[in-house]
Every structure is written in structure tokens, then in C-alpha cells.
């Protein structure tokens, strides 16, 4: 089995691998250059802490997210780290042609061998007007997502050396492909293609259990994966005390309240209380979106995360932490690593 192939047996039966999703958040009072600097700092920090992957996600036309040029940012992070896997969680494939993504990620895989992951989603990663600006006449391309995944596999594989159209670089790199999901549709595709499945439970928890059940029950072994492999992304806000974690978590709650109310802002400083910050309806909507959010000190988190892992049996846990203060964010990832190593 090559180094780029996955197996559910690759992980320790005692310790579930843990990884990072960085949404390259833009912080109130700071510029985007600071965001990128903080991302490099976090990647180096989590690499030392034993995190498995560091993923960035494609978003567009969002004032609080600076990862629109995802492949460039992946290269930047990979160039400042040594061992941690770096990748896309994900690339919104309908925004691009498979050939272009094969060339971009083939280039990354050539520069950083056996360290690049390619997660693929079918959503636009933005609003419909911006999606049209990105896709133009290809606006309805999501319906071609299954075929485009196959094309991408073909371009990155070993068997297209005599093709009329080839990905150079890219061909033969066999960059690991993941299917991303926030609904059940992607679960069927990941299962039928025999690919690892990453679910966006950090903001779309509604279909999580149904989706991973569909994926596991319908999984077909492939050349790259013999058993189903589920990665779940969750929000975690950790601090040395429960009270401090709750305070820090208000930045996350304000961010999601802005999404619900369509009044998006940069990541705001924490507040003493959410009273008066959101309406009852916004609070209820945010609570639903943040169903898989874990907030607390080490002991509380140990109980919460252990329960989640035992109940879901996921193969890997990916953590995203919207925390205003960068030092507090670094400390949060330290605590998470300590808890998950127990």
C-alpha cells in the first residue's frame, strides 16, 4: 500500500487521530495579513502537538473568511511546516474544472510529497450571485459532480499517460481524495466510490448520524480504501476553566448569530454575556447549528469528547476553534490534544 492510501487500520485503536480545520478567520481590529500569519503559527503549533492534518476550506465573498484562494494558502502552510498533512476541506469542485484542480494539487503534491489531501464538496461555498460570477455558464455544474470526481481521479492517477489531455504536474501523484458532506447525498457518493468521508458536523449537524450510517452500510471497497473511514469536524473551545471557555465561546456564538441574521461581521472579541446580543430566535437557530460544539475546561471536554467518540465511532476527529485571541486559540488546541491523548 502506497503512502497516499488510507486504511481504517492505520490509526491506533486507542487514540483517534485528531486534526485541524482552519477557516482563516479575519479578526475584528486586524487585517488579513494577520490572519495568514496566525494560520502559519497555528499550523506549526499543532504539528508539534501531534495533530494529523491541517485543512483549509474554500469560501468566497465572506468578510470573515480569507481562504478563497485555497490551493495557494495550502502551499503557504505546507511550506512553513514539515510533517503535518495539509489539504482542502474542501475544494468546491463545481467552481473549477477537474483538470485545473488536478494541476494545482499535483503541483502541491510534487512540492510536498505524501503530505497533501484533497477534500471535495459540491456546494458553492458562497451565495448564489457570487457562485454565478465564479461559474458563469457552468452555473449548473454541481449536477456533474460525480463525473467530475471520476475525471479528477483519472487525471491524478497512473493510467492517463497516453491520454490526449493530461495533468502535468498531477499525473501519477494519486493525491488522496475525500468526499465532503453536510447531507445524505454525499454519503451515497463516498460509499459507492470507496472514498473517505468527511462530514461538516461543525455547522450542519442535522443529517450527521443518518449520513454516516448510509456511508458505512453502503461502502464499497476501492483501490485506495478497504473499509469505511469517517472524519467528523466539530467546534471545540477549550480553556483552563469552564468559565473561561464559556467566555471565549461568545465570539463563536456572535459569528453564527451573524450568519443566521445575515449580518455578517469579522470575528468579534468575547463578551461577558450573550444577553442582548442575540434574539431568542437567533439563539435557537445557532444552538441547532452548533449541536456538535464542545466548550469547557480539560475535565469537562474529556467527558464530552469521549462520549461523542464512543457514540459515533468516527475514525478521525477534526477540530475548528473560532477564538478571538490568538494565544487563547493556541492554548485551546493544546488542551484538546492533551484530552484526546488520554
> What is the pLDDT tens value at each position of the chain, 342 positions in all?
334 444 343 443 347 999 999 999 999 999 999 999 999 999 999 999 999 999 999 999 989 999 999 999 999 999 999 999 999 999 999 999 999 999 999 999 999 999 999 999 998 777 788 877 877 777 666 788 999 999 999 999 999 999 999 999 999 999 999 999 999 999 999 999 999 999 999 999 999 999 999 999 999 999 999 999 999 999 999 999 999 999 999 999 999 999 998 888 999 999 999 999 999 999 999 999 999 999 999 999 999 999 999 999 999 999 999 999 999 999 999 999 999 987
Omega prior to 290 cis, within 30 of 0: no
pLDDT of residue 139: 67
pLDDT of residue 7: 39
Whether the CB-CB separation of 77 and 54 falls below 8 Å is answered with yes
Whether the CB-CB separation of 16 and 309 falls below 8 Å is answered with yes
Question: Where does residue 253 rank: exposed (0-12), middle (13-18), buried (19+ CB within 10 A)?
Answer: buried
pLDDT of residue 13: 35
Q: How many CA atoms lie within 13 A of 19 on its CB side?
A: 26
Picking from 19, 20, 22, 27, the residue whose alpha carbon sits closest to that of residue 255 is: 27
Picking from 44, 150, 59, the residue whose alpha carbon sits closest to that of residue 99 is: 150
| Helical packing angle, 280-289 and 242-261, nearest 10° | 110
**Which helix H or strand E contains 254, and what residues bound it?**
helix 242-261
Omega prior to 169 cis, within 30 of 0: yes
Cα–Cα distance list, 48 to 81, 240, 241, 342 (Å):
10, 20, 23, 17
Amino acid at each position: 500500500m502506497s503512502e497516499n492510501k488510507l486504511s481504517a487500520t492505520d490509526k491506533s485503536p486507542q487514540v483517534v487521530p485528531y486534526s485541524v480545520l482552519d477557516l482563516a478567520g479575519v479578526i475584528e481590529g486586524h487585517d488579513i495579513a494577520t490572519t495568514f500569519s496566525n494560520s502559519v503559527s497555528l499550523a506549526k503549533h499543532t504539528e508539534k502537538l501531534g495533530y494529523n492534518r491541517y485543512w483549509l476550506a474554500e469560501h468566497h465573498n465572506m468578510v470573515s473568511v480569507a481562504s478563497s484562494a485555497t490551493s495557494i494558502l495550502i502551499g503557504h502552510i505546507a511550506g512553513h511546516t514539515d510533517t503535518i498533512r495539509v489539504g482542502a476541506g474542501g475544494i468546491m469542485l463545481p467552481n473549477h474544472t477537474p483538470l485545473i484542480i488536478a494541476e494545482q494539487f499535483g503541483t502541491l503534491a510534487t512540492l510536498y510529497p505524501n503530505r497533501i489531501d484533497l477534500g471535495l464538496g459540491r456546494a458553492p461555498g458562497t451565495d448564489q450571485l457570487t457562485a454565478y460570477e465564479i461559474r458563469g455558464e457552468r452555473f449548473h455544474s454541481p449536477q456533474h459532480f460525480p463525473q467530475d470526481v471520476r475525471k479528477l481521479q483519472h487525471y491524478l492517477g497512473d493510467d492517463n499517460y497516453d491520454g490526449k489531455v493530461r495533468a502535468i504536474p498531477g499525473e501519477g501523484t494519486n493525491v488522496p481524495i475525500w468526499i465532503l458532506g453536510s447531507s445524505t447525498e454525499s454519503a451515497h457518493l463516498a460509499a459507492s466510490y470507496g472514498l473517505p468521508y468527511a462530514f461538516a458536523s461543525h455547522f450542519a449537524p442535522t443529517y450527521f448520524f443518518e449520513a454516516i450510517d448510509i456511508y458505512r452500510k453502503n461502502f464499497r471497497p476501492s483501490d485506495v480504501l478497504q473499509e469505511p473511514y469517517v472524519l467528523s469536524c466539530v467546534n471545540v473551545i477549550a480553556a483552563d476553566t469552564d468559565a473561561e471557555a464559556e467566555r471565549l465561546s461568545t465570539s463563536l456564538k456572535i459569528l453564527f448569530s451573524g450568519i443566521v441574521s445575515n449580518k455578517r461581521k469579522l470575528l468579534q472579541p468575547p463578551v461577558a454575556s450573550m444577553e442582548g446580543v442575540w434574539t431568542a430566535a437567533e439563539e435557537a437557530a445557532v444552538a441547532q447549528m452548533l449541536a456538535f460544539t464542545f466548550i469547557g475546561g480539560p475535565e469537562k471536554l474529556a467527558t464530552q469528547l469521549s462520549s461523542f467518540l464512543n457514540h459515533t465511532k468516527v475514525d478521525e476527529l477534526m477540530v475548528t476553534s473560532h477564538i478571538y485571541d490568538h494565544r487563547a486559540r493556541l492554548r485551546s488546541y493544546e488542551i484538546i490534544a492533551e484530552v484526546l491523548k488520554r
